[in-house]
Amino acid sequence: MSAHVEIPCPYESAPGRFTVDLVFPAQSKRRAKEHHDVAWTLADVHGLDASTPYKVNPRWSVYEEKWGNKERHGWLEMRRLTVQGGARELARYLVAIERVLDEVEALATRAVRVFGAWKRSIAAEAHLEYEDATTMRVRAREFRADVLHALVQGLGARRRPVGERDSSRPLWEQYGAVAEEVWAAGGDVDLERADEQAVTAQVLCMVPDSETGRAVVDEAERLVVAEAARGEAERARWAREAAEAARERQEATARYHARVEAERLASDEQLELFPEDDARLPLAMPGPQPPKPRRAPRKRVPVAARFPAGTTHVVITREQVEHFSPAIAAAVWPEVSADRRRYAPAA
């Protein structure tokens, strides 16, 4: 799988017509746009329909566009590309796009190596007099982007004239000539070549109606489950190894402290009072604590059991009234001062 494009599972948008939404995860927007252009050109070669999705700006409003921060309604999302076509053509396209992107990036990398060789040559000394390490890093990055753009623009051309370099100009201004040299040295990129076995497997994954297609899908699902199980086993093994390493480090630390303590006692001539075996007690780890018992849930007594049929009067204590309704309790049993209770007549 290529690192320059993410290919999700194609879906059938119409009878006999499939759609795939490609994603270009390059960190640089400029580089992602070049990958987008390569995929667009390749879709035209394979006879497919390509379109760039439109992304709506969530900050847009009429006020922001006319009188605010000039926010646009949206723009074309150049990190994505929607490709539609037949099953066989789309499968061939998906198999070829990874190889084409890798080959174009390899050509751009070869051009950067040419730039590095020129930078270390004698002919570049006159152009690097006022350049430092920081500016040269920027020059190299911009040179690679310009060469990649030139390679993408010339993609699919049958004949490319090889231009000559101008020694009076720096090489970062002659990215077109370097791109032509790389094309001539590395050969052309075949936009139509695709592995037939990979194409057949891709078609069977897209159209799993036959027995072979279902078998391919089942095998793919089995491999995914096996890979997940293998990952879980690897994580468990790493956890065991980490715990074992921690235990070994703890034991080594305890032995080191015991040796240091024994040497200190020997230097203080107190080894007779504290034997070497008791110089440092072994580290005692407390055992696991028993789980805290949970309180049993209170059983609710149904109303029919508390008040049987025919009950007309219920006796409620004063404590219950004060607990559930302090206002009623204050009205029924008003608070009487101590003097008033003193002179009140006896009941």
- The answer to whether residues 179 and 154 touch, using CB atoms and an 8 Å cutoff, is yes
Q: Is 146 exposed, middle or buried (0-12, 13-18, 19+ CB in 10 A)?
A: buried
What is the spatial distance between Cα 178 and Cα 109, in angstroms, rounded to a whole number?
12
Please state, in angstroms and rounded to a whole number, the distance separating the CA atoms of residues 191 and 44. Answer: 10
Please give the structure tokens belonging to residue 264.
């200190």
d(CA 212, CA 15): 20
> Which helix or strand (DSSP H or E) is residue 19 part of?
strand 17-23
**What are the start-end ranges of the H helices in the chain?**
29-45, 62-66, 87-119, 133-153, 175-186, 196-206, 211-267, 303-306, 318-324, 326-332, 338-343
What does the pLDDT read at residue 343? 57
CB 135 within 8 A of CB 142: no
The rounded distance, in Å, linking the Cα atoms of 280 and 259 is 9
* pLDDT for the residue numbered 347: 44
Describe the crossing of helices 211-267 and 196-206 by its angle, rounded to 10 degrees: 100
From first to last of its 347 residues, the chain has per-residue pLDDT tens of: 577 888 888 888 877 788 889 888 888 888 888 888 888 888 888 888 888 888 888 888 888 888 888 888 888 888 889 998 888 888 888 888 888 888 888 888 888 888 888 888 888 788 888 888 888 888 888 888 888 888 887 776 655 566 677 777 888 888 888 888 777 776 677 777 878 888 888 787 777 655 555 666 677 677 778 888 888 888 888 888 888 888 888 888 888 888 887 777 677 666 566 555 554 555 566 666 777 777 767 777 776 777 777 777 777 777 888 877 888 888 777 776 666 655 555 54
